[in-house]
Amino acid sequence: MRFSRTTILAGAAVPLTLGTLLATTGAASASTVRSYVPPRAAYGSMELGSPLQYEQFLALQGFGRYHGQVDYTNWTYAEPGSGVYAPSAGPQQLVFTYQGSQYTHTLNGGLKLVALSPDRLAFSGTGFSGTQTWTITGQVKDDHLKAVIAYDGSTYQVTLDGTIAADGSVTGTATAVNPSQVLTFTMPANTFVSVLHYIAPIRSDQIGRHDATFQFTIPTTPGTVQDGTAGVKVTVKVHDGGWGARHDTYAHGVTGTPLQPYPIIGGPGVTVSGR
Protein backbone atom coordinates (compact mmCIF):
# COMPACT_ATOMS: atom_id res chain seq x y z
CA MET A 1 0.00 0.00 0.00
CA ARG A 2 1.37 3.42 -0.92
CA PHE A 3 0.43 5.18 2.28
CA SER A 4 1.60 8.54 0.94
CA ARG A 5 -1.57 8.43 -1.08
CA THR A 6 -3.68 8.78 2.02
CA THR A 7 -1.64 10.88 4.41
CA ILE A 8 -4.08 12.31 6.84
CA LEU A 9 -3.88 14.89 9.50
CA ALA A 10 -6.19 16.92 11.41
CA GLY A 11 -8.20 19.57 12.75
CA ALA A 12 -8.56 23.01 13.97
CA ALA A 13 -5.61 25.39 13.86
CA VAL A 14 -7.31 27.90 16.12
CA PRO A 15 -6.33 29.45 19.45
CA LEU A 16 -6.97 26.90 22.18
CA THR A 17 -9.17 28.43 24.89
CA LEU A 18 -11.27 27.09 27.74
CA GLY A 19 -14.40 28.22 25.89
CA THR A 20 -13.33 26.33 22.76
CA LEU A 21 -12.72 23.12 24.69
CA LEU A 22 -15.90 23.27 26.74
CA ALA A 23 -17.93 23.89 23.61
CA THR A 24 -16.92 20.45 22.31
CA THR A 25 -18.61 18.69 25.21
CA GLY A 26 -21.42 21.05 26.18
CA ALA A 27 -21.87 23.55 28.98
CA ALA A 28 -20.04 22.97 32.26
CA SER A 29 -21.23 23.71 35.78
CA ALA A 30 -19.59 26.40 37.89
CA SER A 31 -17.92 23.74 40.04
CA THR A 32 -16.53 22.04 36.93
CA VAL A 33 -15.00 25.31 35.74
CA ARG A 34 -13.49 26.02 39.17
CA SER A 35 -11.74 22.63 39.19
CA TYR A 36 -10.89 22.64 35.49
CA VAL A 37 -7.32 21.70 34.55
CA PRO A 38 -6.45 22.44 30.91
CA PRO A 39 -5.58 19.28 28.97
CA ARG A 40 -2.38 18.77 27.12
CA ALA A 41 -3.03 19.81 23.55
CA ALA A 42 -1.43 19.80 20.12
CA TYR A 43 -2.81 21.51 17.07
CA GLY A 44 -1.54 22.19 13.60
CA SER A 45 -2.33 23.52 10.16
CA MET A 46 0.16 22.76 7.41
CA GLU A 47 0.80 22.25 3.73
CA LEU A 48 2.77 19.06 3.15
CA GLY A 49 4.86 18.15 0.14
CA SER A 50 5.47 15.09 -2.02
CA PRO A 51 2.58 14.58 -2.73
CA LEU A 52 0.82 17.90 -2.17
CA GLN A 53 -1.44 17.66 0.89
CA TYR A 54 -2.99 19.87 3.53
CA GLU A 55 -3.72 18.74 7.04
CA GLN A 56 -5.24 20.28 10.13
CA PHE A 57 -5.51 18.59 13.51
CA LEU A 58 -6.49 19.17 17.10
CA ALA A 59 -5.34 16.53 19.60
CA LEU A 60 -6.37 16.66 23.27
CA GLN A 61 -5.01 14.48 26.07
CA GLY A 62 -6.77 14.26 29.42
CA PHE A 63 -10.09 15.64 28.18
CA GLY A 64 -12.40 12.68 28.73
CA ARG A 65 -13.41 10.60 25.74
CA TYR A 66 -12.90 13.36 23.18
CA HIS A 67 -9.41 13.32 21.68
CA GLY A 68 -9.92 15.76 18.79
CA GLN A 69 -9.99 15.22 15.04
CA VAL A 70 -8.05 15.21 11.78
CA ASP A 71 -9.03 17.03 8.56
CA TYR A 72 -7.02 15.92 5.52
CA THR A 73 -6.84 16.48 1.77
CA ASN A 74 -4.50 14.93 -0.76
CA TRP A 75 -4.54 17.28 -3.76
CA THR A 76 -2.91 14.72 -6.07
CA TYR A 77 -5.27 11.73 -5.90
CA ALA A 78 -8.80 11.71 -7.24
CA GLU A 79 -11.90 10.90 -5.21
CA PRO A 80 -15.19 11.34 -7.08
CA GLY A 81 -17.82 13.09 -5.00
CA SER A 82 -15.56 14.52 -2.29
CA GLY A 83 -16.61 18.09 -3.18
CA VAL A 84 -13.02 19.37 -2.97
CA TYR A 85 -11.47 20.17 -6.37
CA ALA A 86 -8.06 20.75 -7.94
CA PRO A 87 -7.18 21.77 -11.53
CA SER A 88 -6.42 18.96 -13.98
CA ALA A 89 -2.82 18.62 -15.12
CA GLY A 90 -3.15 19.25 -18.85
CA PRO A 91 -4.05 22.30 -20.97
CA GLN A 92 -7.73 23.28 -20.71
CA GLN A 93 -10.11 25.34 -22.83
CA LEU A 94 -11.76 28.48 -21.49
CA VAL A 95 -14.48 30.14 -23.57
CA PHE A 96 -15.81 33.65 -22.89
CA THR A 97 -19.10 34.87 -24.36
CA TYR A 98 -19.72 38.59 -24.81
CA GLN A 99 -22.72 40.04 -26.62
CA GLY A 100 -23.31 36.75 -28.46
CA SER A 101 -19.71 36.29 -29.63
CA GLN A 102 -17.37 33.61 -28.25
CA TYR A 103 -13.68 34.08 -27.47
CA THR A 104 -11.69 30.87 -27.00
CA HIS A 105 -8.74 30.81 -24.60
CA THR A 106 -6.33 28.03 -23.65
CA LEU A 107 -5.11 27.60 -20.09
CA ASN A 108 -1.65 26.01 -20.20
CA GLY A 109 -0.74 23.01 -18.11
CA GLY A 110 1.94 23.08 -15.42
CA LEU A 111 0.04 25.31 -13.00
CA LYS A 112 1.76 26.20 -9.73
CA LEU A 113 -0.39 24.93 -6.84
CA VAL A 114 -0.33 26.05 -3.20
CA ALA A 115 -2.60 24.35 -0.64
CA LEU A 116 -4.05 26.89 1.81
CA SER A 117 -6.40 24.63 3.83
CA PRO A 118 -8.05 21.23 3.44
CA ASP A 119 -10.62 22.76 1.06
CA ARG A 120 -8.80 25.74 -0.48
CA LEU A 121 -6.14 25.68 -3.18
CA ALA A 122 -4.36 28.60 -4.86
CA PHE A 123 -3.03 28.31 -8.39
CA SER A 124 -1.18 30.42 -10.94
CA GLY A 125 -0.09 29.93 -14.53
CA THR A 126 -0.25 31.18 -18.10
CA GLY A 127 -2.43 30.88 -21.17
CA PHE A 128 -3.08 32.27 -24.62
CA SER A 129 -5.82 33.30 -27.06
CA GLY A 130 -4.56 33.41 -30.62
CA THR A 131 -1.32 35.39 -30.40
CA GLN A 132 -2.32 37.14 -27.15
CA THR A 133 -0.71 35.67 -24.01
CA TRP A 134 -1.88 36.14 -20.42
CA THR A 135 -1.28 35.16 -16.81
CA ILE A 136 -3.83 33.79 -14.36
CA THR A 137 -3.97 33.69 -10.55
CA GLY A 138 -6.85 32.18 -8.62
CA GLN A 139 -8.22 29.98 -5.89
CA VAL A 140 -10.54 27.00 -5.67
CA LYS A 141 -12.53 26.61 -2.44
CA ASP A 142 -14.62 23.44 -2.45
CA ASP A 143 -16.54 23.81 -5.76
CA HIS A 144 -16.12 27.60 -6.11
CA LEU A 145 -13.59 29.10 -8.53
CA LYS A 146 -12.31 32.69 -8.45
CA ALA A 147 -9.49 33.91 -10.69
CA VAL A 148 -8.03 36.95 -12.44
CA ILE A 149 -6.62 36.95 -15.98
CA ALA A 150 -4.18 39.74 -16.89
CA TYR A 151 -3.28 40.11 -20.56
CA ASP A 152 0.40 40.65 -21.34
CA GLY A 153 1.22 44.14 -22.62
CA SER A 154 -2.28 45.41 -21.81
CA THR A 155 -4.24 46.92 -18.93
CA TYR A 156 -7.22 44.67 -19.79
CA GLN A 157 -8.10 42.28 -16.94
CA VAL A 158 -10.93 39.80 -16.41
CA THR A 159 -12.13 38.48 -13.04
CA LEU A 160 -13.80 35.06 -13.10
CA ASP A 161 -16.37 33.75 -10.61
CA GLY A 162 -17.63 30.24 -11.33
CA THR A 163 -19.03 26.99 -9.97
CA ILE A 164 -17.48 23.58 -10.59
CA ALA A 165 -19.94 20.79 -11.50
CA ALA A 166 -19.57 17.13 -10.52
CA ASP A 167 -18.06 16.33 -13.95
CA GLY A 168 -15.32 18.95 -13.47
CA SER A 169 -16.81 21.51 -15.85
CA VAL A 170 -17.16 25.18 -14.87
CA THR A 171 -19.78 27.84 -15.62
CA GLY A 172 -19.77 31.38 -14.36
CA THR A 173 -19.66 35.10 -14.95
CA ALA A 174 -16.73 37.43 -15.52
CA THR A 175 -16.20 41.16 -15.20
CA ALA A 176 -13.60 43.03 -17.20
CA VAL A 177 -11.90 46.39 -16.77
CA ASN A 178 -10.21 48.64 -19.35
CA PRO A 179 -12.79 48.50 -20.92
CA SER A 180 -15.60 47.60 -18.54
CA GLN A 181 -17.54 44.49 -19.64
CA VAL A 182 -19.73 41.72 -18.20
CA LEU A 183 -19.20 38.29 -19.75
CA THR A 184 -20.02 34.65 -19.14
CA PHE A 185 -17.53 31.79 -19.38
CA THR A 186 -17.41 28.00 -19.53
CA MET A 187 -14.75 25.33 -19.11
CA PRO A 188 -15.37 21.74 -20.27
CA ALA A 189 -15.76 18.53 -18.26
CA ASN A 190 -12.63 17.25 -16.48
CA THR A 191 -11.09 20.71 -16.20
CA PHE A 192 -11.13 20.13 -12.43
CA VAL A 193 -10.80 16.87 -10.50
CA SER A 194 -12.50 15.97 -7.22
CA VAL A 195 -9.67 15.00 -4.85
CA LEU A 196 -9.23 12.79 -1.80
CA HIS A 197 -10.57 14.41 1.38
CA TYR A 198 -11.86 13.17 4.72
CA ILE A 199 -12.26 13.96 8.43
CA ALA A 200 -11.54 11.41 11.17
CA PRO A 201 -11.78 11.43 14.98
CA ILE A 202 -8.57 10.93 16.94
CA ARG A 203 -8.83 7.75 19.03
CA SER A 204 -5.82 8.17 21.32
CA ASP A 205 -2.88 10.52 21.83
CA GLN A 206 0.25 11.12 23.87
CA ILE A 207 1.39 14.74 24.25
CA GLY A 208 4.66 15.92 25.77
CA ARG A 209 6.35 19.29 26.05
CA HIS A 210 7.27 19.64 22.38
CA ASP A 211 6.12 16.41 20.74
CA ALA A 212 2.78 14.72 20.17
CA THR A 213 1.75 11.33 18.82
CA PHE A 214 -1.83 10.41 18.01
CA GLN A 215 -3.78 7.66 16.28
CA PHE A 216 -6.92 7.52 14.16
CA THR A 217 -8.62 5.22 11.68
CA ILE A 218 -9.05 6.18 8.02
CA PRO A 219 -12.81 6.51 7.43
CA THR A 220 -14.73 4.98 4.56
CA THR A 221 -14.90 7.26 1.52
CA PRO A 222 -14.97 6.36 -2.20
CA GLY A 223 -11.24 7.09 -2.41
CA THR A 224 -10.24 4.97 0.58
CA VAL A 225 -12.45 2.10 -0.53
CA GLN A 226 -10.88 2.18 -3.99
CA ASP A 227 -7.27 2.03 -2.76
CA GLY A 228 -7.99 -0.30 0.16
CA THR A 229 -7.08 2.07 2.99
CA ALA A 230 -10.53 2.42 4.59
CA GLY A 231 -10.26 1.13 8.16
CA VAL A 232 -6.46 1.35 8.29
CA LYS A 233 -5.12 2.58 11.63
CA VAL A 234 -2.74 5.53 11.31
CA THR A 235 -0.15 6.96 13.69
CA VAL A 236 1.01 10.58 13.37
CA LYS A 237 3.97 12.13 15.14
CA VAL A 238 4.61 15.90 15.18
CA HIS A 239 7.26 18.12 16.74
CA ASP A 240 6.90 21.78 17.70
CA GLY A 241 10.31 23.30 17.05
CA GLY A 242 9.29 26.85 17.94
CA TRP A 243 10.13 29.94 15.90
CA GLY A 244 7.76 29.13 13.06
CA ALA A 245 6.83 26.15 10.94
CA ARG A 246 10.30 25.78 9.41
CA HIS A 247 11.50 24.12 12.63
CA ASP A 248 8.46 21.83 13.01
CA THR A 249 8.34 18.26 11.76
CA TYR A 250 5.62 15.83 10.75
CA ALA A 251 5.55 12.08 10.02
CA HIS A 252 2.91 9.38 9.72
CA GLY A 253 2.45 5.74 8.84
CA VAL A 254 0.34 2.67 9.34
CA THR A 255 0.25 1.96 13.07
CA GLY A 256 2.99 -0.50 13.99
CA THR A 257 5.23 0.38 11.02
CA PRO A 258 8.03 2.98 10.63
CA LEU A 259 6.67 6.51 10.19
CA GLN A 260 7.32 8.39 6.94
CA PRO A 261 8.34 12.06 7.31
CA TYR A 262 6.77 14.66 5.00
CA PRO A 263 8.15 18.19 4.59
CA ILE A 264 6.07 21.06 5.92
CA ILE A 265 6.12 23.54 3.01
CA GLY A 266 3.45 26.04 4.13
CA GLY A 267 0.90 26.99 6.76
CA PRO A 268 1.32 28.00 10.41
CA GLY A 269 2.80 24.64 11.45
CA VAL A 270 2.56 22.77 14.76
CA THR A 271 1.88 23.96 18.30
CA VAL A 272 2.23 21.65 21.32
CA SER A 273 0.97 22.81 24.70
CA GLY A 274 1.97 20.38 27.46
CA ARG A 275 1.68 20.74 31.19
Beta strands 157-164; 132-141: pairing state: unpaired
Q: What domain range is 12 assigned to?
A: 3-81+194-273
In total, how many domains does the chain have?
Answer: 2
Strands 192-207 and 181-187: unpaired
Contact 219, 225 (CB under 8 A): no
Of 190, 215, 243, the position where a domain reaches its end is 190
Task: Choose one of 140, 162, 190: the last residue of a domain.
Answer: 190
- Give the domain CATH number at 125: 2.40.128.120
Round to whole Å and give the CA distance between 109 and 90.
5
Do the Cβ atoms of 1 and 48 come closer than 8 Å?
no
Residue where a domain stops, chosen among 190, 219, 253: 190
The terminus-to-terminus CA distance of the chain in angstroms comes to 37
Contact (CB, 8 A) for 210 and 239: yes
Q: What DSSP character marks residue 16?
A: -
Is the distance from CB of 183 to CB of 176 less than 8 angstroms? yes
Higher pLDDT, 159 or 2: 159
The mean pLDDT value of the chain amounts to: 89
For residues 157 and 195, give the distance between their C-alpha atoms in angstroms, rounded to a whole number: 30
The span from the CA of 131 to the CA of 42, in Å, is: 53
Q: Tell me the pTM.
A: 0.85
Same domain, 75 and 210: yes
Query: Which whole number is the average pLDDT over 159-185?
Result: 98
- Residues 106, 177 within the same domain: yes
Q: Which pLDDT score, from 0 to 100, does residue 6 have?
A: 39
Average pLDDT of 86-104?
Answer: 97
Whether residue 106 sits in one domain with residue 67: no
Q: What is the pLDDT of residue 21?
A: 43
Confidence of residue 274 (pLDDT cuts 50, 70, 90): confident
Q: Using pLDDT thresholds of 50, 70 and 90, give the confidence band for residue 18.
A: very low
Q: pLDDT tens across 204-242, in order? A: 999 999 999 999 999 999 999 999 999 999 999 999 999
Domain co-membership, 35 together with 165: no
